[in-house]
Amino acid sequence: MVALDIIFIVVAVLIVILSLLQGGKSDGASSSIMGGIGSHSFANIKERGPEKILSYVTFGLAGAFFFLAIIVRLLENV
C-alpha cells in the first residue's frame, strides 16, 4: 500500500512539472475576448517534436493518475 501511495505522489508531481514545461497554445483568453488579430481560443495549432512528446507523456500520466486514484481509493477500504 505504501509503494502505491509513493507511485501516486510521483505521478502527480510529474504531471505538474510536465504541465509547467508545456508552452501556451494561444495568446490567452483576453485576445480571444477582445478580438486579437489572427488568434482565438479554438485556433488549430500543430505540435511538433518535443512539444508533441510532452503532450503524449502528460496525457498518459493523467490516465495513470486517474486509474491510480481509483485503485488507491478501493484498496483504502479493504
Q: What is the pLDDT of residues 18-67, one digit of tens each?
A: 999 887 765 555 555 665 555 555 556 677 888 889 999 999 999 999 99
Cell numbers placing 77 = 477500504
Instruction: Supply the pTM of this predicted model.
Output: 0.69
Please provide residue 34's backbone torsions phi and psi, each rounded to the nearest 5 degrees: -85, -5
Q: Are 31 and 77 in contact (CB under 8 A)?
A: no
Question: What's the domain range around 12?
Answer: 2-76
- Taken as a whole, the chain contains a residue count of 78
More confident residue, 77 or 25: 77
Q: What is the number of domains present in the chain?
A: 1
Q: What sign has the CA pseudo-torsion 50, 51, 52, 54?
A: positive
* pLDDT band (50, 70, 90) for residue 15: very high
